[in-house]
Structures are given as structure tokens and as C-alpha cells.
Amino acid sequence: MENITVKVNGVEISVPKGATVLEAAHAAGFEIPTLCYMKEINEIGACRICVTEVNEGRGFRLVAGCVYPCTDNMEILTASPKVIESRKKTLELILSTHDRKCLSCVRSGNCELQKLCKDYGIEDASKYDGVTNTYEVDNSAAHMYRDNNKCILCRRCVAVCANTQGIGVIGANERGFKTYIGSAFDMGLGETSCVSCGQCISVCPVGAIAEKDYIKPVLEAIADPEKIVLVQTAPAVRAGLGECFGLPIGTNVEGKMVAALRRLGFDKVFDTDFAADLTIMEEANEFLDRVKNGGKLPLITSCSPGWVKYCEHYFPEMTENLSSCKSPQQMFGAVAKTYYAEKIGVDPKNIVMVSIMPCTAKKFEIGRDDQNAAGVPDVDYSLTTRELGRMIERAGINFLGLEDEKFDDPLGISTGAAVIFGATGGVMEAALRTAVYTLTGENPIDFPEVRGTEGIKEATYNVAGMDVKVAVASGLANAKELLEKVQKGEADYHFIEIMGCPGGCVNGGGQPQVAMGIRNFVDIRAERAKVLYNIDAEMPVRQSHENPAIKALYDEFLEKPGSHKAHELLHTTYVKRSIN
């Protein structure tokens, strides 16, 4: 591509033609602050925090650096007195209608607005105080709340919902000073076809939207001597939790996480990975059964509750394609409250099952019908990675100083196939490892075609003389594109993996928020996924069917995959929902 030369704060640099002022500055080592800008997702130049002085030969003037394209020989000033003055005024105006309850805000300490105010030396947060709008907090959804009193109207949540997820249940209503983010006809989010993915929460720069926090009842359960409190952690949590404690993106903190959970007082620290292996046993069996007996194909994975809810709302005619397998979170709870309860001789009513998930849709999932294998809910509380981070901090645990510890047996035993569930393509790869073995007796481990962060991946494998066509999608706009191809008859896959969040669970809506200034230049999906693939590569056992604890579970309790008992405990049904 053709290059042009620009000068950023006196530093001459060559950039590709079409690069924005923001990109040129970044390349020259200067960061321009942003609030609304999300690369390729929300390029609307609306918030004006990125204003930058440029000179294209006619003198310096202010432009929106995030979207303004560089021209040859352009001079750029990213932090001149005029720039600083303008940004400061914009911040003061944002603050004039912002509910400044920073001390009690969930984002205190990692709020992008708070950081900018500090960086730009805002001395008087109430400088332009005047008329304000007050809004009721929307608590209608199972997984999150919206407090528009803290909203700065950056529209990142709107863009991620409409563009990345292809849903669009939130948007800007009214106009001018009365503008607010909400849903059609002021429906509460819980009344809309929101799928609970939480991507809006991950991109919110402030505390206007957040997950519903269940730390308190979990701590109360731990303090109750009558209760046995078990915890399970999803694969992706170990790849994200470290960020809550300042560790670089892509740090594996599995051992410290286990140690911290024990110090928090959980009676047993187990691993959702165990149930991921179990999911593979059931789902591979279901797949082979559907292929052999002419069942509904393509079979589509059901691990991601955001995706499942999306399917129910937007592709209700395809719910029969969904695997009847409960998600690993729910399978884990079902096994813990039946098999494990029996093993330790405890009434399942006295077991409190807590899950730590990179996900907000899991909070919705635990309340679904038909998720109570032992007559009590399979999972009692589902916390996000962020909530766990807060719990550890609140308990005064020196996370960074913890020695690594191991999960408890037997529900902490897992394989490499399970840990990659947390990245897009991981469930497919894990299923292929077991399906190919079941059909051919061979043991291939690596299926690189289904790895990587692309939104849609396709591959064909010849297994025992049959061409098995598979596809993997992550992010719901990608899922929609793929499913429309299937519906139009343009593709005839046998097996599809879909994850609601782009990149899979590592980038789930419950993972630690990463400031957009970093996200615009670092692919957090890839960095966190690396953690999981590295763990997989080092695991002694890398196929779900070789997991000794899973073998014991079938031998002692479930008989075989797809047995009557397995169906009763580990499988579920779906409903058809409407679009609102």
C-alpha cells in the first residue's frame, strides 16, 4: 500500500495512506485518548475527547483524531495547550450531567472517564453543573442493570450490540439533551430479545452498565456451617483473572486462582473443565447418533447460553439443531448435586454450587427451566471473572503472592480438550478428537483449521470414509451470517460450533474490562486464547474420553454416554422466543 509521511509532535513517521490521525500518533508513540471510538465497530467521532491539532498547509485546526485521515506532510499535535484545553472542557461538560458517585461505583479504579479526569487535571467536577436528567435504574434483566445516570452517551454498547452481535436491542432514544440509551418503547432490557451476552458491559467506559453482583449471598453461604459450598471455574477465567491484579493480558493464573478460591473458604475447588469433558462425551455421542440415525443436522453446540438464547429468539426454527446437552456449567452442577452428593453422603439441598464464569449469560442460564437434576437448581450462583476479582480483593488476599495450588479431586480432573472450550473452535476441536477416535480408533490431536480468532471458520475432515463438514462461528453477527447460509442451502455442514462472544469465552461479557485505548490495538481474544492452547499442549491427557474421572463417572453412575440416566441429568430442552 502507498505510504505517506506525517509529523507527529515533531516526529516524522511514514504511515499507510488512509491511516487515521489516531493510528499515526500511536505508531509514533503518542496515545490520543478516546471515549466513543472502537476500531471497526464504533467509528463515529462523537465524543470529541480525541480532538487533535492538524496542519494540512492552511494552519492548525482541531479535528477528531480517531476518524480523521492523515494526508501527506500533515503536521499533528496531540497534546498542545489548545488540544488539552479542548479535551478538558469536553470532560467538564460530560461531568456536568454525570452522576459522580465514584466512591460507590463498580468501576471506580478502572473507569475510563475517571482516568481521563485525572490525566487532564480536572479541578472542579461541578464547573458546569445545571439542569440534569434523572433516570430509573433498569433492573429488569437477569444478568445486568443499566444506570443511565452514569451514562456518557458514547454509544459503544449500542454499536457492539448492533454491529458485533447483530442484535440491536439498545439504542439512542429522543434527541439533544433528552437523549438516553434504552430499548424500544422503553421496555426494560429483560423484556427485549437481549441475549445476555454482556458484550455491552465489557465495552462500557464507565459504570452505567454492570453485571448483577451476587458476591454477598455467596459469602453468606460460605459462612453458613450447614452448607457445603462448591465452586467450579470455567476454562477462560484462568486466562483473564490476572488482569484484575495488574498482570499482563494473556497470563495463566490457574494455580493462583485455585489457591485464592480455597482461601475464600470454598469447601471444594473444582473445575468446569471436568464437565467440558463430560459435554464432549455426550455431544460426540449425540452427533454420531444423529449421523447414523438420520437425526437433525447440522448439530449445533449448546455450551454458550448467549448463543442459545439468540437461537431461541432469532432462529427459533433451528432450535432442533441445538445439541440437547446442557452447558458444562449446568452439567457440572447436575453431577455435583447427584453423583458427588451421593459420594460424600450429603443432601443436595445442603450443597451450594457456585460457578465462576467469563460470562453474564450464565446468570440467565441458571434460572432456565429444566436445569435441576437433583430437584434443586443445578447451579445456585454464577459469578463473573470480575466478581471473583472483587471478592479476592475484598478478602485481602495477596493474589500475586500466592503459591500455585491444584484443583480438588475428582471433579477437578480434566484434559487438554476441555480447557480449549474457552476459545472459539475449542469445543469443535475437542469433539473432533473424541469423535474421530470413536469412529476410527485413531488419535489425532491437532485440528488447526478450527483455531484462530476469525469470525467464521470452515473445514472438512475425512473420517472413516465420510467427509465431515464442520463450521465454527463466534460473535452473533457471524453466527447469523453462517446460519443464513445454512438456511438458504448454500452450505451443508454436519456440525457447527457457535459461541456468542467474538473469540469465544476468553472474550466473554464477564471478563475483566480492558480500556478501549488498549483494545483498539491489542487483540485480547488471541492473547487470552494462547493461554488455553498452551495449557492444552502441556496436559498429559488431551482427549475427553481419556479423562479417568469421566471414565469413573460413567462406570459408577451414568453407565454410558446417552444413557437414560445421562439424558435425565445432563440434557435439556429449548423454547421458541420472539424478537422484541
Partner 1 sequence: MNSAKATVPFKGTKEQEAQLLAFIAEKKDTQGALMPILQKAQEIYGYLPIEVQTIISDNTGIPLEKIYGVVTFYAQFSLYPKGEYTISVCLGTACYVKGSGDIFDKLQEKLGIAGGECTADGKFSLEACRCIGACGLAPVLTVNEDVFGRLTVDDVDKIIEKYNA
At its nearest, how many Å lie between partner 1 and the CB of residue 192?
8
- CA distances in angstroms from 60 to 17, 49, 57, 63, 190, listed in the order given: 21, 17, 8, 10, 49
Decide: is 233 part of the binding site for partner 1 (CB under 8 A): no
φ, ψ of residue 251 to 5 degrees: the values are -105, 130
Nearer to partner 1, 5 or 133 (CB): 133
Decide: is 182 part of the binding site for partner 1 (CB under 8 A): yes
Interacting positions 129-148 with partner 1 (CB under 8 A): 135-136
Q: How far apart are CA 152 and CA 172, in angstroms?
A: 12
Decide: is 569 part of the binding site for partner 1 (CB under 8 A): no
Interacting positions 239-278 with partner 1 (CB under 8 A): none
Length of the chain as a residue count = 580
Nearer to partner 1, 363 or 480 (CB): 480
Binding mask 83-122 for partner 1 (x = CB under 8 A): ----------------------------------------
- Is there a contact between 179 and 153 (Cβ–Cβ < 8 Å)? yes
Nearer to partner 1, 64 or 170 (CB): 170
Task: Return the closest-CA partner of residue 270 out of 338, 348, 346, 335.
Answer: 335
At its nearest, how many Å lie between partner 1 and the CB of residue 485?
16
Give every CB contact of residue 270 below 8 A, 6+ residues apart in sequence: 230, 231, 232, 233, 332, 336, 407, 408, 411, 412
Nearer to partner 1, 186 or 492 (CB): 186
Nearer to partner 1, 174 or 538 (CB): 174
Q: Say how many residues touch partner 1, by CB under 8 A.
A: 22
Decide: is 184 part of the binding site for partner 1 (CB under 8 A): yes
C-alpha cell at 509: 461479557
SS3 27: helix
Q: Which residues pair with 240 in a beta bridge?
A: none
At its nearest, how many Å lie between partner 1 and the CB of residue 170?
6
Please identify which residue in 69, 168, 265, 455 interacts with partner 1, judged by CB under 8 A.
168
Interacting positions 16-45 with partner 1 (CB under 8 A): none
Calculate the CA 422 to chain-centre distance.
9
- Can you say whether residue 48 is alpha, beta or left, with left for phi > 0 and alpha for psi between -120 and 50 degrees? left
C-alpha cell at 546: 481419556
Nearer to partner 1, 194 or 218 (CB): 194
Decide: is 183 part of the binding site for partner 1 (CB under 8 A): yes
At its nearest, how many Å lie between partner 1 and the CB of residue 162?
7
Please identify which residue in 30, 60, 180, 214 interacts with partner 1, judged by CB under 8 A.
180
At its nearest, how many Å lie between partner 1 and the CB of residue 408?
46
At its nearest, how many Å lie between partner 1 and the CB of residue 173?
5
SS3 187: coil
Please identify which residue in 1, 81, 124, 175 interacts with partner 1, judged by CB under 8 A.
175
Nearer to partner 1, 137 or 395 (CB): 137
Identify the DSSP state of 325: B
With cell 447414523, the residue in question is: 292
Q: Candidates 64-72, 172-180, 394-402, 536-544: pick the segment binding partner 1 (CB under 8 A).
A: 172-180
Nearer to partner 1, 173 or 350 (CB): 173
φ, ψ of residue 462 to 5 degrees: the values are -90, 110
Decide: is 177 part of the binding site for partner 1 (CB under 8 A): no
Q: How far apart are CA 172 and CA 35, in angstroms?
A: 16
Decide: is 170 part of the binding site for partner 1 (CB under 8 A): yes
Residue 337 amino acid letter: K
Decide: is 173 part of the binding site for partner 1 (CB under 8 A): yes
At its nearest, how many Å lie between partner 1 and the CB of residue 184?
4
At its nearest, how many Å lie between partner 1 and the CB of residue 168?
3
- Is there a contact between 186 and 69 (Cβ–Cβ < 8 Å)? no
Nearer to partner 1, 171 or 190 (CB): 171
Task: Return the closest-CA partner of residue 206 out of 95, 366, 72.
Answer: 95
Q: How far apart are CA 577 and CA 192, in angstroms?
A: 10
Q: Is the dihedral of CA 397, 399, 402, 405 positive or negative?
A: positive
Number of other residues whose CB lies within 10 A of the CB of residue 577? 16
Residues in contact with partner 1 by CB under 8 A are 135-136, 162, 167-175, 180, 182-187, 192, 579-580
